[in-house]
Structure 1
């Protein structure tokens, strides 16, 4: 049966600086980790990349995924992929991500689409996202798109169908990130979604709903969904991406 072998350091260990999180993941028995973009801006410095590498090496854990730069998450930003005035940041960030891939071994990269801008047409934003995603496909490992939940009504990728439509426009076959928490929070029929898009899924993240805490604290039958994924042929990674309750 599929099991979660990846720790999302950015949400599991919020009280630790990012460079201490791999050691915490190792103590909790995870052989691999992933991060939201942990650095302040789109470009990671030599010192930051070296420090991340040392933290992974000292903890003997593998870095399998790292998000691309998504703007200021604390201020409510949810990505910059579709924002025409931030194309240079996407390209600069891609250079850092490619270097992390080369030096530290990561291959999967969740790319947040970006909330709708009031002063730019949706068509222009979608064109920008497609152009940036095509660029990222050639510059970094595997760019991923996930349906995102939350209170912001201006985030346009809410369903697996919407994410797949963007991937289809760019010609990316396997790039769907199936986050069971977000699918449940957006009232998606999870078994039907998994059956419809199993061949497109490149990564899986789990948290229970409601609450976004560990499995067993909410109403999602996570074990059953993972069994279905395995039966459908998914053999990739599963990550714990939840806010842990004591």
Structure 2
């Protein structure tokens, strides 16, 4: 059985962010993640982690402005200085929150120059934080049109080019289904690179057990393959979060 994680950006939104830590613990989670923690004091979140005996699985970088903003800078030509600035900011948060992983977002870009920029920025980040696990994640073009990293084969090729032991794959089952239409086969091809999993139902991005994804079968598949990382629920609940947690019992 996987170790499940609650994405506090999307789950328990009935509460202010700082109260979601306790709500997640009360619901049975020992691990949480936050997409963009930068609008809240890091020390306040660290205190909430300690108070509720929680571990932080992952935070994203960059940027802090998710609503209406760009989806990262790592693949944006001539955006290296902004990427480096934001990455250093994330490392300051990581010193207190101690996330297992930092997800580096590529941003909207295309072409050979964007690919070269992404690879060089990933190499730079890996050297800046050699003991920190860093991840990249393919995102489907329906949810974020124009996002540079939009394919799992593309991600594998980039990881090989970066060739850094602390840069690996973040495998989102929802995006895998949306991109390929075949989650089990995509995992079979690329799951050996995965250090973190996120899951949601597809279509709709609601509870993982709603929709076309066989999440019980997927959990059995990753267990059989010996996956030891976290599986984070990153979805929009159809109602109150606690009323839709049957998926963690599958």
Q: Do they fold alike, i.e. is TM over 0.5?
A: yes
Task: Tell me the residue number matched to 2:21.
Answer: 22
CA distance in 1, matches of 2:109, 2:14: 31
The two structures have a TM-score, normalised by structure 1, of 0.87
* Counterpart Cα distance in 2 of 1:98 and 1:75: 24
Go from structure 1 to structure 2 and tell me whether the alpha carbon gap of 1:152 and 1:67 turns closer, same or farther (over 3 Å shift). closer
- Give unmatched runs, 5+ long, in structure 1: 41-46
- SS at 2:10's partner residue? helix
Change (3 A) 1:188 1:66: same
Q: Relative to 1, partners in 2 of residues 1:48 and 1:85: Cα closer, same or farther, differing over 3 Å?
A: farther
TM-score normalised to structure 2 length: 0.86
Q: Matches of 2:6 and 2:144 in 1, distance apart? A: 26
What is the alpha-carbon distance in structure 1 between the residues aligned to residue 18 and residue 81 of structure 2?
27
Query: What is the distance in 1 between the residues matched to 2:65 and 2:147?
Result: 15
Which stretch shows the higher mean deviation, 103-112 or 211-220?
103-112
Aligned residues: 235
How far residue 151 of structure 1 moved from its aligned partner, in angstroms, is: 4.3
Which position in structure 2 is the counterpart of 1:136?
125
SS at match of 1:110: strand
Equivalent in 134, 139, 144 of residue 148 of structure 1: 139
Counterpart for residue 191 of structure 1: 184
Q: Over the residues paired in the alignment, what is the CA RMSD in angstroms?
A: 2.0
Q: Deviations over 1:145-164 (max 9, x none)?
A: 11112344312322211111
Say if 2:33 and 2:57, in contact at 8 Å, map to a contact too: yes
- SS of aligned partner of 1:98: helix
User: Residues 178-210 of structure 1: CA distance to partner in whole angstroms, max 9, x if unpaired?
Assistant: 111111112342111111122211111111111
Equivalences for residues 51-70 of structure 1 within 5 A = 51-70=44-63
Which runs of 5 or more residues in structure 2 are unaligned? Answer: 240-250
| Residues 82 and 126 in structure 1, CA contact (< 8 A), matched pair in contact too | yes
Match of 1:237 among 224, 230, 236: 230
SS at match of 1:243: coil
| Distance of aligned partners of 1:136 and 1:11 in 2 relative to their CA distance in 1, 3 Å threshold | same
